[in-house]
Amino acid sequence: MPTRIVTVTLKLQNADLVTTTTVSVLPFVGPTLRSPNFQDANYTSGNGIQFTDAVQRAEFFHYMKPSWHTELSPAGVVDHLTLSVPRFQQQVTVIGEVQNVTSHLYHPKLGRDDYIALSGGVTRRADRGKIYIVRASGSVIATEGSRWFQHGGNVAIKPGDTIVVPLDTEHIPALPLWTQVTQILYNIAIAVLAVNSI
């Protein structure tokens, strides 16, 4: 089977946020194509068997049939990509009880509620009073009154932040609640009848 290789060069943004440093993969293409993975070799399992084929045959010795081979030739570069990597994360992620869990491009004029609105708003099961932010550094900031996290009433959103809208665990729908209550009362009544029958 022919091996189709796509090379990837990285263009990294420097600390000045203007210039970039390019890390090219081109010096590695030749050695990769000359690698034993793509070259014919003489192994005891047959003539002209590639290193890759020999490894596959050793790993799957009990399952492979004599006619099975994993040969990766001819190998060739079919495309070349360049990826630009920004120095900082440029997105804000919104997760939890929102209509659409997703990431948005950072914009300095948008606040917590704006990003939640971009995600379709909160669901009916959301605990609006306990929404918190996880910074890219890992620190957690509660945007409302919560004694568990660092407080920050009107916290500015930064690139790389994750806004978490938690589930309201105190909100229990009426039907399951009353189903549990009647089940408990039923069990108590059965226990009382059992004790009275003794």
Residue with tokens 């990597």: 85
Over range 31-51, report the average pLDDT. 66
Closest by Cα among 158, 165, 150, 35 to 95 = 165
Predicted local confidence at residue 110, as pLDDT: 93
Which pLDDT does position 136 carry in this prediction?
Answer: 84
Domain architecture of the chain: domains with CATH: 3-85 (no CATH), 88-198 (3.10.560.10)
Q: What is the pLDDT of residue 151?
A: 44
Q: How confident is the model at residue 96 (pLDDT cuts 50, 70, 90)?
A: very high
Could you tell me the CA-to-CA distances from 114 to 1, 96, 120 in Å, in that order?
51, 16, 10
Distance CA 98, CA 80 (A): 39
Q: How far apart are CA 152 and CA 33, in angstroms?
A: 55
Q: Using the CB atoms, write b or e for 15-51: b if 16+ within 10 Å.
A: eeeeebeeeebeeeeeeebeeebbeeeeeeeeeebbb
pLDDT attached to residue 40: 65
